[in-house]
Structure 1
Amino acid sequence: MEEVIRGRVWRFGDNIDTDMIIPGRYLRTFSLDELASHVMEGARPEFASEVKRGDIIVAGRNFGCGSSREQAPVALKHAGVAAIIAESFARIFYRNAINIGFPVIMARVDAADGDEISADLKGGFIENLTSGKRYEMKPFNDYMLSILQDGGLVNHYIRTLKEGSG
């Protein structure tokens, strides 16, 4: 995972809940491809078929609210979404995303569908490359970056044990 993420925007509003992200009727499968094929179906039915690897979701407040299903961030990551930028996240969604090595960034960003944006996780800024506007964000510390770079908390823990620093 790169410290600077760049991609095309998919814009969503406030209160995108986990049932919008991955509707409950699809939770009986263990297939990541099947989950990804239905991601965001409750909010934008065309999303799963049109999202491209590296795209970025920009949303309003309270992204990932609702039930604590781990499949929500897993489905988004497997569908190719590179990161989510939102004004705020439900705590459990935020933690589940970090646990699987999926960048979630708290910031208010003005961006429309199709805009190109970049987020410098270590530098602490987001730039809308389409409009030229720049936004501040809290930079990720080295520990959080290492979890993301290792692909999640479990992989990070295994790596640190192997290196003898855990």
Structure 2
Amino acid sequence: MKIYKYGDNVDTDVIIPARHLNNPDPKALASHCMEDIDEKFASTVEPGDIVVAGANFGCGSSREHAPLALKSCGVKCVIAKSFARIFYRNSINIGFPILECPEAAESIQPGDAVTVDFKTGVISDETQGKTFQAAPFPAFVDGIIEAGGLLNSLKVRGVAK
């Protein structure tokens, strides 16, 4: 597990550049994820890695492609000081967990070993011996994420086909 750390105002055009939106295939999006801010990200990210960022992560346009690109890379979650509201909602809609925790986002460094308990919102930086508390998702949001997104959760509940 690796930590990728970025600053404030990482916008959706940086997460997945607009020039790659012609191909909606999640694997294609993943292959270009973060390339304008970190050209090695897509080739080095592995399932379970965590992105840590500053304030206003996911600002910019409202495309769902941004959290989808991160999820398709295998990123476990994003921990940030704050999220743009549309990115936050799009992440939940596709079943991608994100946690707002300014203290964790400030403290966690690349190379740290970090675990996350989504049920409780507890973020543990085992390298530094620190624990942080993010607000856990309400049960209905947790159900959406566990189902893999809003549409899947509606199917599980028998509301959609």
- TM class, shorter-length: over 0.9
Unaligned ranges ≥5, structure 1: 1-6
Unaligned ranges ≥5, structure 2: none
Q: Establish whether residue 61 from structure 1 lines up as the match of residue 55 from structure 2.
A: yes
Residue type of the alignment partner of 1:152: G
Q: CA deviation at 1:113?
A: 1.2
Residue type of the alignment partner of 1:69: R
Q: CA deviation at 1:39?
A: 0.1
Match of 1:161 in 2: 158
Match of 1:140 in 2: 137
Number of residues of Structure 1 aligned to a counterpart in Structure 2: 157
Match of 1:95 among 76, 89, 95: 89
Where 2:2 maps in the other structure, the secondary structure is strand
Residue type of the alignment partner of 1:78: S
Partner Cα separation in structure 2 for residue 149 and residue 38 of structure 1: 26
Bigger relative CO (Cα 8 Å, ≥ 6 apart)? 1
Kindly provide the CA deviation profile for residues 19-62 of structure 1, in whole angstroms up to 9, marking residues without a partner as x: 11000110111222111011001111110000011101011100
TM-score normalised by the chain length of structure 2: 0.93
Q: CA deviation at 1:9?
A: 1.2
Q: CA deviation at 1:151?
A: 0.4
Q: Establish whether residue 124 from structure 1 lines up as the match of residue 121 from structure 2.
A: yes
Kindly provide the CA deviation profile for residues 73-107 of structure 1, in whole angstroms up to 9, marking residues without a partner as x: 11110011010010110011110000000001110
> Structure 2 matches for 1:3-18, cutoff 5 A?
7-18=1-12
Partner Cα separation in structure 2 for residue 124 and residue 23 of structure 1: 31
Q: CA deviation at 1:8?
A: 2.6
Partner Cα separation in structure 1 for residue 24 and residue 133 of structure 2: 38
Partner Cα separation in structure 2 for residue 129 and residue 26 of structure 1: 37
Kindly provide the CA deviation profile for residues 127-161 of structure 1, in whole angstroms up to 9, marking residues without a partner as x: 10111111111122211111111001100011101
Q: CA deviation at 1:121?
A: 1.5
